[in-house]
Copies of this chain bind each other. A is one copy, B any other.
């Protein structure tokens, strides 16, 4: 080997690793005039670094593969005490232990060079090395005490990702999938309760946990357990971080056991929306964190601005979703590949547009998912429906299991853990009390207005299902610069572990202990009492439903009644222009009902908002084909309304 090495070794870059926090890119594009010796040395390093990158990514793929194989084994054997996410964490923990204690600590072969600047740090640095110029980019600040730990262990550095990876790459598919697979009919039926739990409940929970933790911090200061500052706003931030529930384990078991659909809808809807609330809440708490004195003040403006921002994002995302719906309102469904690609690009551009406008991309993507499921989905061809569903399902699955195995890994490989027993115990008590203060009083208030009450067993189940997962982790790892944030991160990690394992394993016993109906086959077995259809949010739902059904659906999709029949007669011309010709064809089919069948084929639920079920003899409870039942019921409904 003389002179240069192959080019591909010289710019070591691997897909996800670009995102890794470590100083991966020891890439130099040297001209022709450099000395060979020098080049060889740096190229050897670059090659070594490239190899390590590949190995560390392979580690994660191995983890995911192991998880998948074990999940398969578990599903095959019908093991329900451990969910795939819990499993991913266990494998992550094991690999973390191996990496931490099994790999040699290769301390700084490349002793960092120091040179003093007077000014503030530049984003780009040009360094003159014996006549050649090299470009450096700023990576971040290092606290003075950690300078000698920077290069402690290459492998540990390699497996440590930049926290923003979670927000910009791993969370979007998870959140989008959540929005896209929302069972809209049940969601809208329980809209009032879901909104109350998600918005009010999360705020209450955040405030209570924040205050309780401030008490704990005061106590720690008294007994001398606190070695650095811990502000009130830090406590509130912790409250916001830890208020994002993620009952993925519980919902998976619900789904498998066919538990009550209303409980499922409320839990799922709450967890999806409270993620969005928690993000915006934590952002605004950070934004308005007082710097010096006046650390106790909670700025009311911050809260109201966060509400404003949230509403802005909501409407913005809704508009984007509607635009997507209009775009896919073409005859693109002759080409499923184009349709799927466009769908994917639209979802992604929603994320980017929101980020470019200064909003939160993750939240935008959630509402984009909901809107697309509601409108765009109806415009898709049959093949594209399954394609988009499957594409996002795979992305969601991989991202979720990756986050959970990374969590397991982080317990041992993260280098700045601060475990404070008092704080941890305090946090567990606080999240318990916060969840209780959120569920029980709110349920009491909601039951005052609901005809179909939220029973005690449902309330206990919701209380029990307060798991913390990917969102809490992503929010906590976002900033681990200060002492207080490091302690919060370590505590969050433990809370996630504990809740996922214990609650995940305890769901099945809990369901039977609380006597919650399982084995509900919704298309065969309409709930026994009629009053479950007299919804608590009937007025809200009915208002929304009729507006959506009569005006939005005909405009944005190929389904629903033609606008010519729903709009007043003096709008005739506009109505004719806005109504798709296909609407007339599809009127009988009422394609909109499709949208209920997005998520699980095993969970085909037939419910009709404000219509009481009066099934004909020909389509009694034993009809296997839900479509027959549907058609009959739809005809019934039309007869009623005529």
A516 CB within 8 Å of chain B: no
We find that the number of chain A residues with CB closer than 8 angstroms to chain B is 133
Q: A11-B164, A137-B23, A397-B341 are in contact. Are A29 and B481 (CB under 8 A)?
A: yes
Asked whether A352 lies within 8 Å of B291 as measured between CB atoms, the reply is no
A118–B129 CA distance with the chains assembled, in angstroms: 6
Pick from B8, B122, B478: contact of A113, CB below 8 A: B122
Q: A18: which B residues are within 8 A, CB to CB?
A: 18-19
A618 CB within 8 Å of chain B: no
A335 CB within 8 Å of chain B: yes
Pick from B50, B119, B134, B332: contact of A121, CB below 8 A: B134
The stretch that binds B, out of A67-75, A488-496, A572-580, A585-593, is A67-75
Chain A, 45-56, contact with B by CB distance < 8 Å: what is the 0/1 string? 101011100110
Asked whether B41 lies within 8 Å of A120 as measured between CB atoms, the reply is yes
A98 CB within 8 Å of chain B: no
Output the residue of A12, A42, A291, A355 with the most chain B CB within 10 A: A355
Asked whether A117 lies within 8 Å of B127 as measured between CB atoms, the reply is yes
A162 CB within 8 Å of chain B: yes
Q: A122: which B residues are within 8 A, CB to CB?
A: 110, 112-113
A284 CB within 8 Å of chain B: yes
Q: A41: which B residues are within 8 A, CB to CB?
A: 120
A315–B218 CA distance with the chains assembled, in angstroms: 65
Asked whether A330 lies within 8 Å of B72 as measured between CB atoms, the reply is yes
Q: A126: which B residues are within 8 A, CB to CB?
A: 112-114, 142, 147, 150
Asked whether B28 lies within 8 Å of A291 as measured between CB atoms, the reply is no
20 residue pairs of the A-B complex, CB under 8 angstroms, read: A2-B288, A3-B290, A11-B162, A11-B164, A12-B164, A18-B19, A32-B229, A51-B358, A54-B356, A58-B356, A65-B349, A68-B341, A110-B124, A113-B125, A120-B129, A121-B129, A125-B136, A133-B141, A135-B141, A387-B394
8 further contact pairs, Cβ within 8 A, besides A18-B19, A113-B117: A2-B288, A8-B164, A11-B164, A15-B168, A29-B140, A68-B345, A72-B338, A113-B122
